[in-house]
Amino acid sequence: MSPAAPLLEFQNLCFERNDVPLFDQLGGEVRSGEILQVSGANGAGKTTLLRVLATALRPTAGEIRWRGDPLPRSRSRYLTELVFLGHAPGFKSALSPRENLRWLGGLFTQRRETADTALAALGLAAWADVPCAQLSAGMLRRAALARLPLSDAALWILDEPLTALDRAGVGLVEELFRAHLNGGGGIIFSSHQPLTLPGVKRLELTGA
Amino acid sequence: MNSLVPEIDAWGPGPGAGFTALLRRDLLLAWRRRGEVANPLVFFAMITALIPVAVGPDPLLLARLAPGMVWIMALLGTLLAADTLFREDYADGALESLVLSPQPLWFLVLARVVAHWLVTGVPITLLSPLLATLLSLPSSGLWALVIGLALGTFAFSLLGAIGGALTVALGSGNVLRPLLVLPFYVPVLIFGTGAVTRAVSGGESAGPLALLGVIVALALLVSPFAAAAALRVGIDG
């Protein structure tokens, strides 16, 4: 582990589903303070790539390194420094956003900042105690994103974090991104929407 | 929010934090859906009330049937509930959070199993003396029934976790899972009913109960690890 190593780098990444390659020979890296946007048509493999990078899926071939160390071996250290928000954020519909953040908080390293401040930062303070089943898609997305200010992780991997968000919500996310990048974190996210942040690196999936 | 230096205001949850967080979550969820949780119990109470009507009120016959009937109800109750053990978490993405958390997955699986037992096995165990008495089981068999069920339903939950984890990606209503776990449930059923029958006939029930304890200990050693490995493969879909 050298200080100059990127947070996450991947080389020759290949993933096959039922022997059909979804993507092949992908490479890239995210350094401290960098943000990488994964784009591509529907079905191009954005979600799969993000899940591979988060170690939820095993790549067919290729190498992923966390802070310079190859991944399967450094996985436990990697997971303490990662937040992965997938399509389905794992929120229980019978529980309120606050209760959901609380149980997820037991699993991951968190700041002492309370769930209330995080929910307030995303404009959900009034809805903190309402069962998630009664929230709209956009509010659920905001509730899921409240995990970000709560987390202490260096790398965020976010699958379509802007889906269902209104314009104010997108603004809030950009603010969160900016603060995270300024603090030396890295972000990988998938979206079709362009962000107003400067210096967004792009990875276009075109299919293998 | 701007600082990423961990020493300042962050805490890493210890290995127990995930266990308690998950246990709390599951008990809270069970409380929110208490009607759903109580449903099998109501069903068993109705079965108990209907059996004497259907087979006749002969106390000797009912007493012979009672240990087996109560044990089968407990088995079916946990078997049906084991279906939801990981499937919901799989569908709403919570399972991914469990697998990608820095906490040891087998320990989180154990929390899920303990919660499942507290919500399904324990209520049936507590209700069993009442059901058995309604079926004219002599009171000499009640202790063996309660102790046996407490151990046996925990074994059911542990073993059910392996089946639930193996079939997590297969969706609801598949018949594979009961077929997978039922063979492992049979020894528990044999020793459990055996303990009650022996106690009723004035014999020693400690032997079968001790064997139940052995099954629980073995399942405790194997099941969390097996289920965790199966879940890792399961989300790989």
**Each residue's pLDDT tens digit in chain B (237 positions)?**
343 444 333 345 566 788 999 999 999 999 998 998 888 888 888 988 899 899 888 989 999 999 999 999 999 888 877 777 888 888 888 998 899 988 889 999 999 999 999 999 999 999 999 999 999 999 999 999 999 999 999 999 999 999 889 888 776 667 787 888 889 999 999 999 999 999 998 888 899 999 999 999 999 999 999 999 999 888 875
- For B100, the closest chain A residue by CA position comes to A79
A–B interface: beta-carbon pairs under 8 A: 115
Contact at CB, B6 and A87, closer than 8 angstroms? no
* Region for residue A68 given its phi and psi (left: phi exceeds 0; alpha: psi -120 to 50; beta: otherwise): left
* Beta carbons of A39 and A190 less than 8 angstroms apart: yes
- Mark out chain B residues that contact chain A at CB-CB < 8 A: 1-4, 6, 9-13, 17-18, 20-22, 24-25, 28-29, 32-33, 89, 91-103, 108, 235-236
Separation in Å, CA of B69 to nearest CA in chain A: 34
Alpha-carbon distance values, A175 to A3, A81, A144, A186, B222 (Å)? 27, 21, 16, 14, 47
3-state secondary structure of A65: strand
What pLDDT is attached to residue B175?
79
**pLDDT band with cut points at 50, 70 and 90 for residue A110:** low
Percent of the residues in chain B that have a pLDDT greater than 70, as a whole number: 92
What pLDDT is attached to residue B185?
93
Neighbours of A184 (CB within 10 A): 15
Contact at CB, A79 and B100, closer than 8 angstroms? yes
Contact at CB, B94 and A93, closer than 8 angstroms? no
Q: Tell which of B96, B107, B119, B235 to mutate to test the A interface (max A CBs under 10 Å).
A: B96
- Tell me the pTM: 0.88
Neighbours of A195 (CB within 10 A): 16
Among candidates A82, A86, A88, A44, which has minimal Cα distance to A66? A82
Separation in Å, CA of A166 to nearest CA in chain B: 23
What pLDDT is attached to residue B237?
54
Kindly report the average pLDDT of chain A as a whole number.
88
- For A100, the closest chain B residue by CA position comes to B25
Q: Is the pLDDT of residue A113 over 90?
A: no
Alpha-carbon distance values, B73 to A157, B69, B131 (Å)? 46, 6, 10
What pLDDT is attached to residue B44?
87
Kindly report the average pLDDT of chain B as a whole number.
87
* Beta carbons of A57 and A51 less than 8 angstroms apart: yes
* Beta carbons of A35 and A197 less than 8 angstroms apart: yes
What pLDDT is attached to residue B39?
87
Q: Is the pLDDT of residue A112 over 80?
A: no
Using a CB-CB cut-off of 8 Å, the residues of chain B touching A172 are: none
Contact at CB, B97 and A55, closer than 8 angstroms? no
- For A106, the closest chain B residue by CA position comes to B18
Q: Is the pLDDT of residue A145 over 60?
A: yes
- For B233, the closest chain A residue by CA position comes to A57
Give strand pairing partners of A205: A40
Contact at CB, B18 and A95, closer than 8 angstroms? no
What pLDDT is attached to residue B173?
63
d(CA A113, CA A132): 22
Among A146-150, A179-183, B77-81, where is mean pLDDT lowest?
Answer: B77-81
- For A177, the closest chain B residue by CA position comes to B2
pLDDT (average), residues A63-71 = 89
What pLDDT is attached to residue A144?
92
What pLDDT is attached to residue B194?
94
Q: Is the pLDDT of residue A118 over 90?
A: no
Among candidates B233, B237, B220, which has minimal Cα distance to B109? B220
Q: Is the pLDDT of residue A111 over 80?
A: no
Contact at CB, B33 and A185, closer than 8 angstroms? no
All residues at 6 or more sequence positions from B127 whose CB lies less than 8 Å from its CB, including other chains: B41, B44, B45
Q: Tell which of A51, A53, A103 to mutate to test the B interface (max B CBs under 10 Å).
A: A103
All residues at 6 or more sequence positions from A143 whose CB lies less than 8 Å from its CB, including other chains: A89, A91, A97, A100, A101, A119, A122, A124, A127, A132, A135
Alpha-carbon distance values, B14 to A81, B104, B158 (Å)? 15, 10, 24
What pLDDT is attached to residue B168?
84
Using a CB-CB cut-off of 8 Å, the residues of chain B touching A102 are: 21, 24
Separation in Å, CA of A92 to nearest CA in chain B: 7
What pLDDT is attached to residue A1?
47
Using a CB-CB cut-off of 8 Å, the residues of chain A touching B33 are: 94
* DSSP secondary structure code for residue A31 in this structure: -
What pLDDT is attached to residue B119?
92
What pLDDT is attached to residue B202?
87
DSSP labels, A68-120: TEEHHHHHHHHHHTEEEE-SS----TTS-HHHHHHHHHHHS-EESS-HHHHHH
Q: Is the pLDDT of residue A150 over 90?
A: no
Using a CB-CB cut-off of 8 Å, the residues of chain B touching A93 are: 92
Upper half-sphere CA count for residue A82 (Cβ side, 13 Å)? 31
Separation in Å, CA of B104 to nearest CA in chain A: 9
Percent of the residues in chain A that have a pLDDT greater than 90, as a whole number: 38
Please compute Rg for chain A using Cα positions.
17
ipTM of the complex: 0.87
Among candidates A205, A165, A97, B93, which has minimal Cα distance to A176? A165
- For A150, the closest chain B residue by CA position comes to B1
Q: Tell which of A55, A107, A145 to mutate to test the B interface (max B CBs under 10 Å).
A: A107
Higher pLDDT, A54 or A206: A54
What pLDDT is attached to residue B18?
86
What pLDDT is attached to residue B1?
39
What pLDDT is attached to residue A88?
85
Taking only the tens place, the pLDDT of each residue in B19-73 is 999 999 999 999 998 998 888 888 888 988 899 899 888 989 999 999 999 999 9
